[in-house]
Chain A
Amino acid sequence: MQHFISPVLWQFLVKWLTHFALFPPEASSIAPYADGLYFFLIFISLIGVGAVAFLVIFFSIRYRQSRHPVAVQIEGSTLLEATWTIIPLILFMIVFVWGALLYFRIYSPPPNAMNVYVVGKQWMWKVEHPGGQHEINALHIPINEPIQLTLISQDVFHSFSVPAFRVKREAIPGRYTTVWFEATRPGVYHLFCTQYCGTLHSQMIGWVYAMKPDDYQAWAAGSTSGHSLAQNGERLFASLGCNSCHNSTPNAHGPNLANVYGSHVQLANGQFTTVDDAFLRDTILNPTLHQVAGYAPIMPTYQGQVSEDGLIDLVEYIKGLNSNYRIDQTIDNSAGQPVQTGATPGGTSAPPLAPGTVKP
C-alpha cells in the first residue's frame, strides 16, 4: 500500500491510526460529567441529522421527477409542525438544564478548595502558590483534592484552559475570576491560553503536573521560595505604609483589617457587601469605589504602584490576618519609619501557610 501513496502521507496515516484520539484524557472529577453531556449531545445530533438525512434521501428517491412527475400540492400540517417544534424544544431544554448544572458545578468552588493564584501576562502564566512556590507555565497540583484557581491578567485577556480537566476560565485585566477542579489521575496535561492575546499567543502554553499527594508534598517542600505569599504581603503592607492607618490603635484612620476577610461591611452609601478577594483588590487600587461607612475617603490610590503579584500578596496577607498584634508592634517600634519593618523576617503571627491550606 505504501508504494502507492506518498511516504509522508503514509507516515501520517500510520501515526494517526496508531494514536487515534477523539477525546482528551479524562483526568478530573468533572471530565466524566462533561463527557456524559457530550455523548448525549452527539446522540441527539445523530438523531437529528439522521432524521433529516433520512427524510431528504427517502423523498429524493421516492419523489424524483422521473418516478413522480406530478407534484401534489400540500399546504402544511399544523400537527406535524407542532411535533417538530416541540420535540426539538424538549431536547434543547434537557440540554439546557444539564449544561447549566454542569456550569454551576465547574464555576462554584467548594469551600475547602486549596487556592492557587494565576497571573496571565503576555505571554506566560505565572502561578503563585500560597506556600511561596512560584512557577512559570507550569502548575503542580495534588490529585484528589479540590484546587481553586484565582485568575487575573496583568495586560490583555487570556484564557486558562486545561482540556484534560474540561475546565477553562478567562483571565481578565482588572478583576479576579475563579475556577476549580479536582484532578483524579496523576499525569502531565496540556495547559493552553485559548484567548487570542497577541504575537506569541500560541507559545503561552505549559503543563499541568497532577501528582500523588506525597509527591506533591515533596515537590512543594523542594520548590518553595522560602517566603509565603502572606509573608511577602506583610512586608509589602509595611513598606507601602498601610499599617499607619490600618491598625488597631484608637486613632487609626482606616478600618481594622484583622478578620475582615469574609465579613459583611457597610459601605458609605448604606449598602452591605462581603469582603472577598475582588473587594480587597478594588479598595487598594480604587479606594473610593467601595468607601466603608464611618471612615473619611482619605486613602490614596495604589494604582500603578503595586503589581498584580503584589496585590495577590496583599490579598493573601489580609485574608489570613486575624490579629493586629504585629501591625501595632511595627508602629510602636519604629514610629515614623514603617518602611524598615519590612526587613524583619521570620516571625510567627502570619505563619507560612502549608501548601494546601486556605483560611476560610
Chain B
Amino acid sequence: MSTSVSLPDQSTARLPKVSYLNKEYGLKSWLLTKDHKRIAIMYLLGTTFFFCIGGAMAALIRLQLLTPYGDLLAADTYNKVFSAHGLIMVFFFLVPVAPAVLGNFLIPLMIGARDVAFPRINLFSWYLFMTGGCIEVCMLVFGGVDTGWTFTTPLSTHFLNTQVVAAAMGIFVAGFSSILTGLNFIVTIHRMRAPGMTWFRLPLFIWSYYATSVIFVLATPVIAIALALVMLERVIGIGVFDPRMGGDPLLFQHLFWFYSHPAVYVMILPGMGIISEVVACFCRKRVFGYTAVAFSSVAIGVFSFFVWAHHMFIMGISNYSALVFSLMTMLVAVPSAIKIFNWSATMYKGSISFDTPMLYTLGFIGLFTIGGLTGVFLASLGMDIHLTETYFVVAHFHYVMVGGMVSALMAGLHFWWPKITGRMYPESLGRVAAIILFMGFNLTFFPQFILGYLGMPRRYWAYPPEFQALNVLSSAGATVLAIGYLLPICYFIWSLKYGKIAGSNPWQAAGLEWQVQSPPLTENFEQTPIVTHEAYDYEWLANQTRNEVPTVG
C-alpha cells in the first residue's frame, strides 16, 4: 500500500490548441456564455473588484486607528468606511467568492459533468450578483451608509439619514444570486455525477460545497425577508421592529442572525473543502477518515442553523434560551476540531511537499485553529459577556473568515490556477507571499485579542489613548498583510502571459478535474468518464500515469 510520485516533465507540456478560453472570442461570447468555467472567471473578476474596494476601506480603517483621537476621518465618515468594509467584504466577497468562483469552475469537473444543471440560471445569477454589487457601489458613491454590516434596528430604520434602502436593496438582489447558485449546485451534485461517481467517491470538496449550497438555499431567504422588512419599515413605517408601534427590535436580531450565522459557515465550509483537496494532494495520500470529514461538513451545515442567538447573549434573551444556544455552539465546534485533527493526521506517513498551496494550507490550519478556539471563548456564556462587542470578536471572526477562508481561497487559487489558466504562477514568489500573508495576518489581528480583553469596543472612531500601542502594532501588521494580498494579484496577472505551461496534471493529483487538459475544453470531457476508483486514490493514479493521459491537441 504505497505510492510514489513522479511529476510530469513540464518543459514538454504544451498549451492545448482549443480550450474553453479560446473557443470563442469577444466580449459578447463572455457576457452571454453558459459555460460554468467562463462564469467562474467572471465571478473571479467581480469578486476581486469588490475585494479591492473592501480592502481599501480596511486600509482606511487601520490608518484611522493609528491615533486615538480620530485625526484622519470625521466620525460619520469612519462609520461609513467600516460599514462599507463589512458590507462589501461579507456580502460581495466572502459569501460569493469560494462557491461562485471555485465551486462553479470545479464542481462539474470534479463529478464528471459537462456543465452545471442549469447553465442559464448560472449566468443569470452572475448578473444578479453584479446588479446587487452595482447598487452597492452606487450607494457608496451617493453617500454611503453608516449602519454597520448588521443593519441593527432601530438605528437603521429610524435614526440614520444615509442610503440604507439602497444598501439593503443591493444585498437583497445579490441574495437571489446565492439562492440560485446553491440550487444549481444541489441539483448538479444530485443528478449529474458521472457513472460510478457514488456519494462516497466524491471529493470532500463536493461534500463541503453541498453543505454550503444547502445553507444558501435555506438561510438566504431569511435575510431577504429581514432586509425587506427594514426597507418597508424605513419607507412606509410598518412598525415590525419599532417598539413605539408595538414592534420588537430584537426580532430583527433573530432574523438577521438566523441568516448571518449560517452565512459564517458559508464562508468557511468551502475553505474546508479546498483544504481537504490540497492536503491530500501534497501528502500524496487519501484524507485520513474520509467519512468523518464528509459528515462533519454536513454536521456543521445542520448545526449552523441552531446557534444564531449566541450573537444576542447580552441582549436580554431569556437565560435559559442562552443556555441552549451556548450548548449548540459548543457542539458546532466539535466537527471543526475533527476536521483539523483529520487534516493533521493525513500528513502522518505521507510524502509531503511544500509548494505554495500547501504553505497556505498549513497557514489555514494554524489560523483556523486559533479562530475556532477563540470561538469557544465567545460561546462560553459568562466569558461572552465581557468579550462580545469588543475587538476580541473582531479578531475572532477575522481569524476564521480572513485567516481561515482567505488562506484557503489562496491555497485553492494557487492549486487550481494551472487548471484554470493552463499556466503556473511563479512558485518561489508564491511561497514568499504565503509566508508574508501568515505573518502579516497574525501581526494585524493577534493584538486585537488583547485589545478586546482590555475592553476596547469595536466600531470606535476614537479610543482611549492607552489602547494606542496595540493599535499601532495592528496597523503595522496590516501593511504587511496588504503586501501578502497584492503580491499574488500581481503575479497571477503576470503568469497569464509569462507563466510556465502547466500541462494537464502538474500536481499529479487524483481528482477527475486533473485528468483533462488544462485549460479544459468547453465541454470538459471528450467522453463521459466512468469512475472506478475512490477519491484520492493515488495508487490508481500511479497506474493511470503509466498510460498516456489523454489530451486534445
Query: How far, in angstroms, from A352 to B533 measured CA to CA in the complex?
Result: 85
**CB-based contact A170/B386 at 8 Å:** no
B353-378 CB contacts (< 8 Å) to partner A: 353-354, 362, 365-366, 369-370, 373-374, 376-377
What's the least CB distance linking A359 to chain B, in Å?
24
Assess whether A177 is interfacial by the CB under 8 Å rule: yes
**CB-based contact A12/B469 at 8 Å:** yes
What's the least CB distance linking B324 to chain A, in Å?
10
A residues near B, CB below 8 A? 12-13, 15-16, 19, 21-24, 33-34, 37-38, 41, 44-45, 48-49, 52-53, 55-56, 59-60, 63-65, 68-77, 80-81, 84-85, 88-89, 92-93, 95-96, 98-108, 122, 155-157, 159, 161, 163-164, 166-170, 172-175, 177, 190, 192-203, 205, 286, 303-304
Assess whether B523 is interfacial by the CB under 8 Å rule: no
Pairs A–B under 8 Å by Cβ, sample size 29 = A12-B468, A23-B454, A24-B454, A37-B382, A44-B373, A52-B344, A59-B344, A60-B347, A64-B352, A71-B538, A72-B1, A74-B348, A85-B338, A92-B334, A96-B326, A99-B380, A99-B383, A100-B323, A100-B326, A107-B385, A161-B455, A163-B454, A167-B385, A168-B314, A172-B315, A174-B249, A175-B243, A192-B455, A202-B75
**CB-based contact A72/B2 at 8 Å:** yes
Query: How far, in angstroms, from A95 to B337 measured CA to CA in the complex?
Result: 15
**CB-based contact A175/B316 at 8 Å:** yes
Query: How far, in angstroms, from A159 to B369 measured CA to CA in the complex?
Result: 30
Q: In the complex where A169-B314, A195-B152 touch, is A99 in contact with B455 (Cβ < 8 A)? A: no
What's the least CB distance linking B14 to chain A, in Å?
27
Assess whether B349 is interfacial by the CB under 8 Å rule: yes
Contacting residues, chain B, for A156 (C-beta < 8 A):
152, 154-155, 159
**CB-based contact B155/A24 at 8 Å:** no
Contacting residues, chain A, for B2 (C-beta < 8 A):
70-73
Query: Contact partner of B382 among A103, A172, A193, A205, CB < 8 A?
Result: A103
Q: How large is the interface on B (under 10, 10 to 19, 20 to 34, 35 or more residues)?
A: 35 or more
Query: How far, in angstroms, from A25 to B86 measured CA to CA in the complex?
Result: 32
Query: Contact partner of A19 among B326, B458, B466, CB < 8 A?
Result: B466
Contacting residues, chain A, for B188 (C-beta < 8 A):
none
**CB-based contact B351/A63 at 8 Å:** yes
Query: How far, in angstroms, from A72 to B347 measured CA to CA in the complex?
Result: 10
B residues near A, CB below 8 A? 1-5, 70, 75-76, 79, 146, 148, 150, 152, 154-155, 159-160, 243-244, 246, 248-250, 283-286, 288-292, 313-316, 319, 322-323, 326-327, 330-331, 333-334, 337-338, 340-342, 344-345, 347-354, 362, 365-366, 369-370, 373-374, 376-377, 379-386, 388-390, 450, 453-455, 457-464, 466, 468-470, 472, 538-539
Query: Contact partner of B155 among A76, A163, A164, A196, CB < 8 A?
Result: A196
Query: How far, in angstroms, from A94 to B334 measured CA to CA in the complex?
Result: 14
**CB-based contact A59/B455 at 8 Å:** no
Contacting residues, chain A, for B380 (C-beta < 8 A):
37, 41, 95-96, 98-99, 102
Smallest CB-CB A-B distances: 10 pairs:
A102-B382, A163-B455, A174-B243, A99-B380, A103-B381, A16-B469, A76-B289, A194-B389, A59-B347, A71-B284
**CB-based contact A122/B338 at 8 Å:** no
Query: How far, in angstroms, from A70 to B382 measured CA to CA in the complex?
Result: 50
**CB-based contact B159/A155 at 8 Å:** yes
**CB-based contact A170/B362 at 8 Å:** no
**CB-based contact A172/B249 at 8 Å:** yes
